[in-house]
């Protein structure tokens, strides 16, 4: 049981961190996308 707690706990933490990082990147990318599209339309 102890082994499972330790192992699964670390896996959960790493995956939670990864998800949080992805969400942060998505938030940063959100305003970037319309800006990039606008710049592409410029002559």
Partner 1 sequence: MILPLSILYAAGTLAVPKLSAQESAAFIMLAASILVFRTFRERFLLIWILGWLAYGLSLWFGVDSAAFTTSPELQAVSQAAFVLAVSLFAASILIYTHFREIHFHAAHDHRFDHDVLGRAGTVLADEVVARVPLEIAYRLLAIAAAVQLLRYRWGRFEIGPWLMACGFFFLHLDWAGVTGNVPTGVF
Here's the x/- map for partner 1, 13-42, by CB under 8 A: it reads as xx-x-x------------------------
Angstrom distance (rounded) from CA 43 to CA 18: 39
Q: Which is nearer to partner 1, 16 or 36 (CB)?
A: 16
The nearest distance, CB 37 to partner 1, in angstroms, is 32
| DSSP per-residue string spanning 14-33 | HHHHHHHHHHHHHHHHHHHH
Q: Which residues bind partner 1 (CB under 8 A)?
A: 1-14, 16, 18
């Amino acid at each position: 049981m102890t082994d499972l707690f330790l192992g699964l706990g670390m896996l959960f933490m790493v995956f939670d961190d990864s998800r949080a990082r992805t969400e942060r990147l998505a938030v940063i990318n959100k305003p970037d996308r319309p800006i990039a599209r606008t710049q592409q339309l410029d002559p």
